[in-house]
Each structure stands twice: as C-alpha cells, then as structure tokens.
Structure 1
C-alpha cells in the first residue's frame, strides 16, 4: 500500500448557473489540477461544500473522480456523513473508486467521548478496506481535538493511517502529534487553505490540502520544499498569501471565481451561504491575480485574461 504525500488540492463542486452539478466543469477542473502535477486530489471536503450535496450526488461524484484519477494521481475521498450509516456508504464508495484514503472529519455527534470516536473510526473498516484519514477540523465543523485526544483515538482505531490537522496553531499541533506518533501514522497533512504551509512543512507535515484555485503554485512550492530550496518556498508563500487571505473570507466563491477566470468553469455558483464579492472585491482580485500571473506563466498555467472583470 503506497503512502501519500505532497500537494493534494481539495476540489470544489462545480455547479451551473442554476445550481445543478456541472459534470463537464468538474472534469475540466480535475484534468487541470492533474495537469499541474499534483500528487493527488481530494473530494469532497469542506472546500467542496460537501454538506450541501445530497448523498446521491456525493456517491456519483466520488465514482467520477476516482475514474478520472485512476492510474494518474492518488485520490482521497471525503467520507464524512451525518450518521454512521452514511459514512459507511461513502467509504464503501471510496473503496470502489480506488481511493488511497477516506478522509472523515471528527464527528461532532460524539463530542466528549473519545472512546466512542475511536470505535466509530475503527468500525469503518467493516465497510471497506480503505485507510482512514482523520480530519481534525476546528469547531463547529469538527471537534478541534488536541494531540493527546488524537493519540487516544489512534490507539483505538488502527485503520487511521493519516491525519489532516487544521486547528490553529496548526504547526504546534503537528509538532506535538509528530513527537508522539504511533507507528501506524504514515503522514500528517496540513490544511487551513495553505495559509500556514511553510510552518507545517518545517514541522514535519508530509503534505498540504488547500483549495484548488492555485494548485499550480502549490505544486511548485512542494517541489521546492522537496529540493531543499527554502528561498523559493518562502517566495511562493509570500506571493500567494494575499490571495489565500482573501479566500479565507470568501471561501468557495473566491475559489470558483478564480477557476472561472482561468477559463476552466462557466459559473462560479455556490450553494453554501457566505459573503459575495462586490465590485471592489473583483477589482482587488484583478490585482492579486495580475501579481501572480508571471509565476503562473512560468509554469504554463496562466489565467485567461479575457475572463477578468
């Protein structure tokens, strides 16, 4: 069984202007991120509006993305469900799709009972023989557990082979988990939109799972890290951080607007609630993308200037 590491963007769910799933837009986005040289893809995650998808939509898209990724890059399937039965159905679908891991957020319905949480993760092995990635998301999406709690859960669930840590301070939590990690733990990934990526990598994270709109630049940053080129890592982090900070506010809308401007999707429609970009925000985004355009051009992944607002 191959370990996973590196740049794993979380794919958004692409909708058309009516709010229906845009299958071609999904394919375009998957093909583009794979073409950027990513190590793998993740779907669905928090950045995919997964809690605004029906179970049937999630199952259908997991199958689609597994087929597109097969033999090309690793696929981490998001299998967080509203109950144990839904999670089991999703991890079974992940197994059928050839997923390298099933990512499942710490279940808020079991808050305060670490033994029950561990048993929940361990019980998923009965649904499919897919390694589990525990997503330690902050509240209210997850439980925001400390390292001691995570280690307790790992002790009860030997099928948890990966952890995605995205509670601030992410770096300190990664250090604490790394220092006491049991042998079963193959890799720790950072998340939080890539806003702390340099600290996470320096503390021993094996990879990152940000949103997908600048997958090309995250690929280049990971390549520089692997080569020991910390000057390039720092340069890319500092150049991309203004856009990532804007993404922290507008989330899915920002990600999809950038993908639209890059000519990959027709609509930036989102189902999830949240602030919308106004005219000033669009103008600010123009400037942020213009500043990144030379880096994108160096990688042959520049955005489509005709899509600028």
Structure 2
C-alpha cells in the first residue's frame, strides 16, 4: 500500500535548457536519503508539459533505474485524451512501473458517466496497472466532487487510490474515506503539504509534496504515525512559511532550495513562472536558515539571513 511521503520530483535543466540527467540522479538520491516512501515522476511539478516524449521516457527510466526497487515509483500519465494517457501508461509499464497517476482532462467534463468512461478505457487497455485518480482544483483540474469520485471509483477496480487536492481538501477526504469501495486502498493528500496535518488527521494515507524539504516531511510523517502530534505540528509550523512561498513560485522555488542545499547548480525552469527577485530569494534564505536544524540530508549551504 502506498503511504507516507511520496514527493513529486522536478526536472532539472542545464544552463542551455537541456535536461540535466546527472542532476536528476542527484535529486533521486536526495529523496531516497531523506527516507521517502515513494517518488512520483512525471507530475505537474516536473514541468511535464515542457518535456517532449523522448525526454519524458528517458527520465522515467532513469528514475526507475536509480530507485532500483527500494521504494515505489508512481508514474504520471495524465494527458489530453484517453489514447495519450494509455500510451503514457504503457510506457510506464515498459519501464517497470505499475502504479500510474492520471487526472481526467477538463475536455472530458465533470459528470460521473463521462469521467468514468475515460478511466474505464484506460483500465481496459492497460489492465496491469493500478490508477491513482488525481483530483486537482480548477482551473487546472476538474474539481470533481466526492460523490462523483466515489461513483467513478466504485465502478472501476483499477482505481486504487485518489489524490485529493481540491480546496479545501479535508472534507472531501473525509467523505471519500467514509464511503469508499473495498478496493480503494487510500486517499493521498496534495496541496504541496500545506494542509498535511489536517489531511493526515482525516485519514489520508500519504502526501505528495515537492521534494526540496523531503527530510522534514518524512520526520513529520514519522512523528504523526508514532502518535507524537505535538512534534508533527511543530515541524509543520516551522516549515509552513517556506511552503507558502513555494505556492507562488512552484518549481522555481523547489529548484532554488535544492540549489541552496547542494543538490542542484541552478534553478532553471522551462515553464513560465513568476520571476523571483532579490527580495524573494532573501526571504527564502531567511526561512531556510531558521529551519536549518531540521534539514538533515545532504549539504546545507545557506547564506546568512541578512545577506
């Protein structure tokens, strides 16, 4: 069963804009050294829309090879059509991955019948996979309601998890788990771990944040599961300012923090993101410095907060 911290890995780029495969290996190594319970690639936080088919396939194989069976790999297979999602799922199977995460495209609509047909076509075409139904909020996602998700999942045994990241996600997680079909193994939280305590208290089996503070998120997860809610809350409180900033700058923030931690050499992105100016970087550095005692994996190379 998937559980715990399952970060979505970013795609690192060299200064010339090409994919940096060596850096991708370092990201995987960092995640594993942090004690994560699985990794996700590619996802929206991987800038998947900016990767061509060759890049996407080679990076997924790199991740699978580097993980070498130590933790589960969840492959993103979202696409504008069922046919493309099927192709991504088959590529994942060929790479040795059996769990794929798929968000229904908005073009399908939001009715239970239409979305169920989308997932049904995928499950029929690639019967060896388990599906994580990703439910993202509008405008990126379809913002499916819990009753719709339950109807879809109940009719499709291949859907074994739901990643619930609508806002607020808490009531939806409660509703899904209260009425879930027997084959649905769990609900995974999204939202970049900005609501992880609430999600866990409602019964979420895991979380899919970004990877830049995976070691802290693992410590939070372990504290919660051991019954030390006070420690979990303290770790959450001390890192929440960073996650709030991450919500604005997304992958650029993740890569900047990874560069400050010695994992990456730049924070280049292909996606069109808000630019981070000197004040933004100074604020990130200040919060990283305040949380530096929590950063237990790899090198911590932080400038002084006043620099």
TM-score after normalising by structure 2: 0.95
Query: Does 2:158 correspond to 1:159?
Result: yes
Query: For residue 300 of structure 2, what is the aligned residue in structure 1?
Result: 303
Offset at residue 114 of structure 1 (A): 2.2
CA RMSD of aligned residues (A): 1.6
Distance 1:173 1:72, change over 3 A: same
Q: After superposing the two structures, state which structure 1 stretch, 29-38 or 125-134, moved more.
A: 125-134
Matched with 1:220 is: 219
- Which residue does the alignment assign to 2:65? 67
Q: Report the secondary structure of 2:35's partner residue.
A: coil
Pick aligned residue for 1:109 from 103, 107, 120: 107
Q: What are the superposed Cα offsets for residues 128-158 of structure 1, whole Å, 9 maximum, x if unpaired?
A: 5110000001112210111001011112322
Residues 179-205 of structure 1: CA deviation (Å, up to 9, x unaligned): 111101101100101000000000000
Q: 2: CA distance between counterparts of 1:75 and 1:183?
A: 23
CA contact 1:106–1:137 (8 Å) conserved in 2: no
Partner of 1:86: 84
Per the alignment, residue 202 of structure 1 pairs with: 201
Match of 2:50 in 1: 52
Give the SS at the match of 2:231. helix
Asked whether the equivalents of residues 82 and 121 of structure 2 are also in contact (C-alpha less than 8 Å), the reply is no
The CA deviation at 1:100 is: 4.3
Contact 2:189 2:199 in 1 (8 A): yes
Runs of 4+ in structure 1 displaced over 4 angstroms? Answer: 306-309
The question of 1:26 aligning with 2:24 is answered yes
Displacement of 1:112 in angstroms is 3.3
**Contact 2:192–2:209 (CA<8 Å) still a contact in 1?**
yes
Is the contact made by 2:215 and 2:297 (CA closer than 8 Å) also made in structure 1?
no
* Structure 2 portions without partners, runs of 5+: none
Give the superposition deviation at 1:9: 0.6
Between the two proteins, the alignment pairs up a number of residues equal to 305
Kindly indicate whether the alpha-carbon contact (under 8 Å) linking 1:260 and 1:307 is maintained by their aligned counterparts in 2. Answer: no
> CA shift at 1:307, angstroms?
11
Equivalent residue, structure 1, for 2:173? 174
1:306: how far off? Answer: 6.8
Cα distance in 2 for partners of 1:227, 1:301 equals 25
Indicate the residue corresponding to 1:35 in structure 2: 33
For residue 60 of structure 2, give the secondary structure of its aligned residue in structure 1: helix
Match in the other structure for 1:283 = 282
CA drift at 1:106 = 2.3
Distance 2:297 2:4 in 1: 20
3-state secondary structure, aligned to 1:236? helix
Q: Deviation per CA, 1:107-138, whole angstroms, max 9, x where unpaired? A: 21101342121122122232251100000011
Contact 1:7 1:219 in 2 (8 A): yes
Q: Which consecutive residues of structure 1, in runs of 5 or more, have no partner in the other structure? A: none
The separation in 1 between residues aligned to 2:159 and 2:297, in whole angstroms, is 38
Contact 1:95 1:130 survives alignment (8 Å): yes
